[in-house]
A and B are shown apart, each in its own frame.
Chain A
Amino acid sequence: SQTIHQWPATLVQPVGSPLSLECTVEGTSNPNLYWYRQAAGRGLQLLFYSVGIGQISSEVPQNLSASRPQDRQFILSSKKLLLSDSGFYLCAWSVGRGLFFGSGTQLSVL
């Protein structure tokens, strides 16, 4: 069966520090991969999605970037975090119809 791993679960980072969140999927090949952000009390905002290795589509211009170095690995990065980057980050995957989420990373930028 397919599983998705996302880490870390929580992260507290100072403003201006770098960021790296990692997501891996097991049990499937060539999934579409997604990064969403959820601000407190708000809905999901699609940040990036990828349909294959090295293929990244950005939905919202911002302080973040994404990379897909391997088929089932998706990384969210920032060179310098801003206060506004705080939020709950969710990785997700899909093959065909259906979107399946990781357990999320709560990022607090102080």
Chain B
Amino acid sequence: AQSVTQPDIHITVSEGASLELRCNYSYGATPYLFWYVQSPGQGLQLLLKYFSGDTLVQGIKGFEAEFKRSQSSFNLRKPSVHWSDAAEYFCAVVTGNQFYFGTGTSLTVIP
């Protein structure tokens, strides 16, 4: 069965520091992978997606993610975090018509 694991429930970083949010998936074939961001009381916004090709994908707001098949991972990164990046982040894998989400990582940014 397909599943997505986000090991970190909550992460705190200082503004200007680098960020890496972890995502591991379980899926038999080549996955389609996504990262979403959710601000409080809002819907989810697509940050980036991976379907095939270059394993390093660029997204909006300065985020990037790297697909590593050997590690079944799709970690999200940002070189320098801004206070406005504080939000909930979700990793997702899609198979057929169904999207499977991780439980999310809550990011706090301190000045």
> What is A's interface to B at a CB cutoff of 8 Å?
6, 32, 34, 42-44, 46, 49, 51, 88, 90, 92, 94, 97-104, 106
Contact = CB atoms under 8 A, between A and B. Distances in A.
Given A42-B103, A44-B101, A46-B99, 17 more contacts: A32-B97, A43-B101, A44-B90, A49-B97, A94-B99, A97-B49, A97-B94, A98-B49, A99-B46, A100-B46, A101-B36, A101-B43, A101-B44, A102-B43, A103-B42, A104-B42, A104-B43
A103 B101 contact: no
A88 B41 CA distance: 8
A43 B103 contact: yes
Nearest to B9: A41
Chain B facing A: main interface SS: strand
A49 B98 contact: yes
Contacts of A102: 43
Top 8 closest A-B pairs, CB basis?
Answer: A43-B103, A101-B43, A44-B101, A101-B44, A103-B43, A104-B43, A99-B99, A43-B104
Contacts of A92: 44, 99
Given A43-B104, A104-B43, A106-B41, A97 B32 contact: yes
Interface in B1-58: 32, 34, 36, 41-46, 49, 51
B92 interface: yes
Contacts of A51: 97
Nearest to A91: B43
A101 B103 CA distance: 17
A43 B41 contact: no
